[in-house]
Structure 1
Amino acid sequence: MYLNIIFLPLAGSFVAGLFGRFIGGRGAGLITICCVGLSCCLSGLSFYEVGLGGAFTYIYLMPWLDSDFFQVNWSFCFDSLTVVMLVVVTFISTLVHLYSTEYMGEDPHLPRFMSYLSLFTFFMLVLVTADNFVQMFVGWEGVGLCSYLLINFWFTRVQANKAAIKAMLVNRVGDFGLALGIFTIFITFGAVDYATVFALSPQLVSATLSFLGLDVKCLDLIGILLFVGAVGKSAQLGLHTWLPDAMEGPTPVSALIHAATMVTAGVFLLARCSPLLEYCPNALNIVTLIGGATAFFAATTALVQNDLKRVIAYSTCSQLGYMVFACGLSNYSVAIFHLSNHAFFKALLFLGAGSVIHAVGDEQDMRKMGGLRRLLPFTYAMMVIGSLALMGMPFLTGFYSKDVILEVGYATYSSVSHFAYWLGSFAAFCTAFYSIRLIALCFLCEPNGSRTLTLSASESSWPMVTVLGLLATPSIFIGYLGRDLFIGLGTTFWGNSIFSLPSNLSIVDAEFMSTSIKLFPLCCSFLGGILSFVFYFNYKQALFSLKVSDWGRRLYTFLNRKWLFDKVYNEAINQNVLDFGYHFTYKVIDRGLIESLGPFGLSNVLLSQVKQIREIHSGFLYHYLMALVWGNVVFAVWFLFGIPSPHVLSLLIFTSLWLTL
């Protein structure tokens, strides 16, 4: 059963990819949906057995790498953390597959698309079930490859090409850090399997290693390098620039990437490595700072974005910041709880946005929408549910996890945690503001788009509507139903899959903190939502006047251009690297040194030698006879008296040439 969970999506991907031209788009969709759906059902059974029953499972498949002390096996670990991720990944993936058969139904390359989706799911399952870092890295790189293929699915579009290349290159930076972390783990522990590394971590707290000429603690270095990998994959501040541009791919791709697979891999890595990170206090402080800054940065940037999918993409970046700084505060269970909750309402938002875009002729600019609540009532209701869950409104899924993250941030009582708490609270205000702004511009304001497209808008077909309804249910209830199981005091659900030092536990302190501190993030959310509703209904002219004012225009430009990160990267880094590559490595090394010593130099030497030899050939027979005679003389002298001295040899050669000419 457990291996079927992993390999059924791979089988569906192979069938759809290799035989798609024979079975057609509908056939490929049916096969992949059945394979991933069956994997989802088996994941539910594994959740019951492993998560609720406590029957942790380890499966050894076969040996893989065996070189002296370096040994890696193909083996799979199913514990509480794994089965939670399995349920989330397979459930969201099944619904995205079903949604895609209708959303992409007119695309002639639907079999290829369904094959990529299933392959994406397979690599994510490999990542979360691996029992060692090398096997995890295979899944890690696999989801990166599939993201490139899916973002670039419409490969005739230049922007899709650019976005896919950008996603691949930015993730390579993070992957390089993760690879260095795995190398350092092997150097420090002599093994790469989780069990050995996590068991030995307390014994090597004081171990040091020379890195870039500095003596640093091994565990702190490992923690930082692993976090660099998480920063790239989970789009944290610094390596976040690929995530908004990934919206160039089809909408189902965005839902799968943002809700359940690629961007959650970094948070999963931090939670999986909790027995190691707990002994890296300096690394955890960095994780907390970056997570809090990311939540604030992405929330402020989303305030002024006009592309529907881009707003939701920045909200993903912001929510990932919450999860990351929860991991930095050693509350890994709270981070995973928010990850699973976020997956449902974020998939609902993206697929609802896809339904809106599908209805208005592929228009994504919210300023050209409006008035869709009467034309798309069901989609409107689903988007409202998703937006309210994202805002953390009471009794919806997001409320039960996001507020807990902020509470433990304050209850840790350190300068780093309070920094994350206040930035996270202001990010909650911005989240509510842009969520209501999205609803207002798309559904509540007067129509601003083309009359033809607006009047032709209608609800999507039954597969898309069914998927939205299935996602709305957990977006409302799953937070309430899972709170006591995942993060309740005294719960034994996680077992040994997540570890926190007793000194780092702050969930108990969060229960007894001041009520005003607990309610402050919720008040920020209410205030942001109310201000957004009032401004976009009664004071649009005031907003416009604010935007065109001197400082308002500067602020709007700064936020709309994503805090100028792309500008800084392009002008300060990318352009200088390209100039260096052209003027030095290309002109000096490739066109200069290598070609001078290589093909051009070799050809020039051969041509000059051939020209000199050709001039010796006069064409007269007696010249050749004389050369033959003197050659025989030189050979005879050499044979009888040994090798002549250089002076005698030079005299013989000079005499022969003089007589010949």
Structure 2
Amino acid sequence: MLKLLWLIPTLPLAGSILLILASGRLPKKLSAFIGVGSVGLSALLASGVSIAFLHAPLEGNAYTQTLWTWIAIGNFNPSIGFYLDSLSLVMTLVIAWVSFLIHLYSTEFMADETGYQRFFAYMNLFVAAMLVLVLADNLLFLYLGWEGVGLCSYLLIGFWYRDAANGYAARKAFVVTRTGDTAMIIGLLLLFTHLGTLDIQPLMERAAQEWAAGSGLAIAAAALLLGGALGKSAQLPLQTWLPDAMAGPTPVSALIHAATMVTAGVYLIARTHVLFELAPPVHTAVAVIGALTLLLAACSALVQTDIKRILAYSTISQIGYMFLALGVGAWSAAIFHFMIHAFFKALLFLAAGVIIASLQHEHNIFKMGGLRKQLPLAFWSFLIGGASLAAVPLVTAGFFSKDLILWHAWSSPLGGPWLWGAGLLGALLTAVYIFRAWFIAFFGPPKTTVDKKPGYLIAIPLLALSLLSLIGGWVELPEQPFFTNFLHATLPPAEQVSTGVGNEFDFKIISSAAALFGIYLAYLLFLRRSPSLGLLAKTTPAPTIRPFWYAGWGFDKLYDTLLVRPFLWLTGINKDDIIDSFYRGITLLTQYAHHLLSYAQNGQIRWYVSGIATGVIILLAMAVFP
């Protein structure tokens, strides 16, 4: 069964190619069958391969499959090959199954849209690229998948390309992530130049043998890879593209945020964790960036009015938690939260899609209201997803993953009170902003008429994801950490130091109290509408801060001022292209030389004879008087 590993990314790719070659000539049902069926077969095959992997005693707890040599130039011979270990196995299963549920949902959600076949072609290509990324056995092949998800994000965010705003959002995502991609490719060149390979496992071994901890090369390589991760995973300071990416269809948002693209940076850091352990300053930067990002994004989510933008900032914040875990050496905790986040974030986006489609594509939560009776499926789905996001204790999967990160942020020798405090405050804000959206959208008087109810093709994914968002955390219990133990074959266990202040259970109580208090605060502010809290909000700096948070802390304006406007100014000055002036000069010089030579072609034979005689005399003189 393991020999069929190559088919996992190939099946979605084949579906995409088939849909592209059909050029829109297939019936919608057949297009959906190819798109959903190929991803579904890939998910089933991933499950079969996983069972075989778990039952087969493999040397090094990993399986490598090399199909052929991609490039052979001297010592540079990267292959088209796949590497399956506990880390890539978890990533593959989550990507394949969550993508399948989103595809199934899309068959009904996108049924009335033009470009139906094109949509599934792009979605399948997206899934194939992400599967290549997590299964690649070398960094060059990984980079192919990395660029593939970047291309597909551009195509899908700008799916409704007739709207100029959507095209702008797609270009913005492509350009901002390209900044990180540039840093990453430079990092790959540095690694190959100094270590002589891009095969991931030999590369990590050579780095550990040849580079001392804290060496300049290790720091430079890790920093460049971090740059790539920041772009794809929308972390500070390259987070600005993700909220605008909501211009794409809701299933696209779910796919980008839950199972693909934004988690690519998390995977890259976990896969190359040896480099980051050799670069302590960069490793610390990962934790600090994660802590800052989760707070800034949570504050922005608090004041958004578009339900999808609330969830977009939520994704940025939750990826920040994963970076925080990576930065304190809790590698398994970061991947655990990735898996749980895929469940509840896909659920939240798909539930939001039901609301939007039912309200004539209304996105503003303040124009919703009273939907709990009209859309019960969306009501319960959003509640379960929101509760898991807020880490409601014991009954949700998010409780187990987020609390594990908070505990390691406190107990790890790389963590400390400040990082833990940032994570705890982020947990409080998370509960407030997600239940703010829930209370406003589903309670109070109806403001927009519901004209469409979801069918069973939408209901099935919502029910499946709801179940996973509730029980998914049971694979990692304090007494039986199955998930962490499984990943220890690939990722080192997190170190812990004696804090002298409580134990893990005590910190779970604190974080649980923060989540519950956040929900209660949201209830007082947005459902009960407490007069005292309303008065407090008016007398605090909130009215001044709100526009700043709403605009994403002004990063777009900052980049517009520092980068976009100066670039446009330079292009205005250089509208005639200075480089072209050089070539125009060569053209003019050639024309002038041609004009001078034309005098020698006057049609008079005596001048030709005189010229020949003069040339002969000069040659003879040069021979006689060298």
Tell me the TM-score range normalised by the shorter chain. over 0.9
Task: Render the CA deviation track for 1:515-534: whole Å, top value 9, x for unaligned.
Answer: 54332222111111101111
Cα displacement (A) at 1:69: 1.6
**Are the aligned partners of 1:406 and 1:421 in contact in 2 as well (CA < 8 Å)?**
yes
CA distance in 1 between partners of 2:279 and 2:606 (Å): 85
Q: How does 1:39-438 map to 2 (within 5 A)?
A: 39-51=42-54, 53=56, 55=58, 56-206=62-212, 217-395=216-394, 396-413=396-413, 417-438=416-437
Aligned match for 1:2, one of 1, 5, 10: 5
CA distance in 2 between partners of 1:280 and 1:109 (Å): 47
CA distance in 2 between partners of 1:298 and 1:41 (Å): 36
TM-score of the aligned structures, taking structure 2 as reference length:
0.92
Q: Equivalent residue of 1:105, what SS?
A: coil
Aligned match for 2:559, one of 556, 569, 575: 569
CA distance in 2 between partners of 1:308 and 1:12 (Å): 32
Q: Which residue of 2 aligns with 1:649?
A: none
Amino acid at match of 1:497: T
**Are the aligned partners of 1:366 and 1:441 in contact in 2 as well (CA < 8 Å)?**
yes
Q: Equivalent residue of 1:290, what SS?
A: helix
Amino acid at match of 1:103: F
In structure 2, do the counterparts of structure 1 residues 465 and 630 end up closer, same or farther at CA, with 3 Å as the change threshold? closer
**Are the aligned partners of 2:66 and 2:79 in contact in 1 as well (CA < 8 Å)?**
yes
Cα displacement (A) at 1:442: 0.7
**Are the aligned partners of 2:24 and 2:118 in contact in 1 as well (CA < 8 Å)?**
no
Q: Which residue of 1 aligns with 2:613?
A: 636
**Are the aligned partners of 2:286 and 2:323 in contact in 1 as well (CA < 8 Å)?**
yes
Q: Equivalent residue of 1:192, what SS?
A: coil
Say whether 1:465 aligns with 2:464: no
CA distance in 1 between partners of 2:269 and 2:66 (Å): 24
Residues 327-336 or 40-49, more deviating: 40-49
Q: Which residue of 1 aligns with 2:37?
A: 34
Name structure 1 gaps, 5 residues minimum.
Answer: 209-215, 618-623, 646-661
In structure 2, do the counterparts of structure 1 residues 199 and 355 end up closer, same or farther at CA, with 3 Å as the change threshold? same
In structure 2, do the counterparts of structure 1 residues 515 and 340 end up closer, same or farther at CA, with 3 Å as the change threshold? closer
**Are the aligned partners of 1:230 and 1:266 in contact in 2 as well (CA < 8 Å)?**
yes
Amino acid at match of 1:577: F
Amino acid at match of 2:558: V
Residues 312-321 or 545-554, more deviating: 545-554
CA distance in 2 between partners of 1:121 and 1:372 (Å): 33
CA distance in 2 between partners of 1:602 and 1:201 (Å): 53
In structure 2, do the counterparts of structure 1 residues 58 and 600 end up closer, same or farther at CA, with 3 Å as the change threshold? same
Task: Render the CA deviation track for 1:406-447: whole Å, top value 9, x for unaligned.
Answer: 011011255x54322111111111100011101111101222
Q: Which residue of 2 aligns with 1:212?
A: none
**Are the aligned partners of 1:547 and 1:556 in contact in 2 as well (CA < 8 Å)?**
no
CA distance in 1 between partners of 2:14 and 2:478 (Å): 37
CA distance in 1 between partners of 2:344 and 2:268 (Å): 22
Cα displacement (A) at 1:512: 6.3
CA distance in 1 between partners of 2:165 and 2:533 (Å): 31
CA distance in 1 between partners of 2:522 and 2:462 (Å): 25
Amino acid at match of 1:464: I
Larger Cα Rg: Structure 1 or Structure 2?
A: 1
In structure 2, do the counterparts of structure 1 residues 399 and 595 end up closer, same or farther at CA, with 3 Å as the change threshold? closer
In structure 2, do the counterparts of structure 1 residues 510 and 472 end up closer, same or farther at CA, with 3 Å as the change threshold? farther
Say whether 1:597 aligns with 2:582: yes
Cα displacement (A) at 1:549: 5.6
Q: Which residue of 2 aligns with 1:557?
A: 547
Amino acid at match of 1:535: L
Q: Equivalent residue of 2:64, what SS?
A: strand
Q: How does 1:469-508 map to 2 (within 5 A)?
A: 469-483=463-477, 487-488=481-482, 492-500=485-493, 505-506=495-496
In structure 2, do the counterparts of structure 1 residues 601 and 251 end up closer, same or farther at CA, with 3 Å as the change threshold? same
CA distance in 2 between partners of 1:378 and 1:634 (Å): 97
Q: Equivalent residue of 1:263, what SS?
A: helix
Say whether 1:17 aligns with 2:32: no
Cα displacement (A) at 1:201: 2.7
Q: Equivalent residue of 2:517, what SS?
A: helix
Task: Render the CA deviation track for 1:16-58: whole Å, top value 9, x for unaligned.
Answer: 2212533222211111211111111111122222246554321
In structure 2, do the counterparts of structure 1 residues 510 and 168 end up closer, same or farther at CA, with 3 Å as the change threshold? farther
Structure 1 segments, 4+ long, off by >6 Å, are 507-512, 540-544
In structure 2, do the counterparts of structure 1 residues 53 and 291 end up closer, same or farther at CA, with 3 Å as the change threshold? farther
Cα displacement (A) at 1:374: 1.1
**Are the aligned partners of 1:485 and 1:493 in contact in 2 as well (CA < 8 Å)?**
no
CA distance in 2 between partners of 1:84 and 1:264 (Å): 13
Amino acid at match of 1:474: L
Name structure 2 gaps, 5 residues minimum.
Answer: none
CA distance in 1 between partners of 2:540 and 2:172 (Å): 33
**Are the aligned partners of 2:406 and 2:423 in contact in 1 as well (CA < 8 Å)?**
yes
**Are the aligned partners of 1:333 and 1:486 in contact in 2 as well (CA < 8 Å)?**
no
Aligned match for 1:526, one of 516, 526, 533: 516
Cα displacement (A) at 1:644: 7.4
Task: Render the CA deviation track for 1:168-203: whole Å, top value 9, x for unaligned.
Answer: 001011111111211111122111111211222322
Amino acid at match of 2:462: L
**Are the aligned partners of 1:294 and 1:317 in contact in 2 as well (CA < 8 Å)?**
yes
Task: Render the CA deviation track for 1:468-513: whole Å, top value 9, x for unaligned.
Answer: 1111111111111344799459x6422532135xxx5129979962
TM-score of the aligned structures, taking structure 1 as reference length:
0.88
Q: Equivalent residue of 1:71, what SS?
A: coil
In structure 2, do the counterparts of structure 1 residues 347 and 510 end up closer, same or farther at CA, with 3 Å as the change threshold? farther
**Are the aligned partners of 2:129 and 2:148 in contact in 1 as well (CA < 8 Å)?**
yes
Cα displacement (A) at 1:331: 1.0
Q: Equivalent residue of 1:238, what SS?
A: coil
In structure 2, do the counterparts of structure 1 residues 359 and 279 end up closer, same or farther at CA, with 3 Å as the change threshold? same
Residues 24-33 or 246-255, more deviating: 24-33
In structure 2, do the counterparts of structure 1 residues 217 and 448 end up closer, same or farther at CA, with 3 Å as the change threshold? same
Q: Equivalent residue of 2:371, what SS?
A: coil
**Are the aligned partners of 1:51 and 1:80 in contact in 2 as well (CA < 8 Å)?**
no
Q: Equivalent residue of 1:76, what SS?
A: strand
Residues 514-523 or 438-447, more deviating: 514-523
**Are the aligned partners of 1:287 and 1:327 in contact in 2 as well (CA < 8 Å)?**
yes
CA distance in 2 between partners of 1:508 and 1:263 (Å): 34
Amino acid at match of 1:493: F
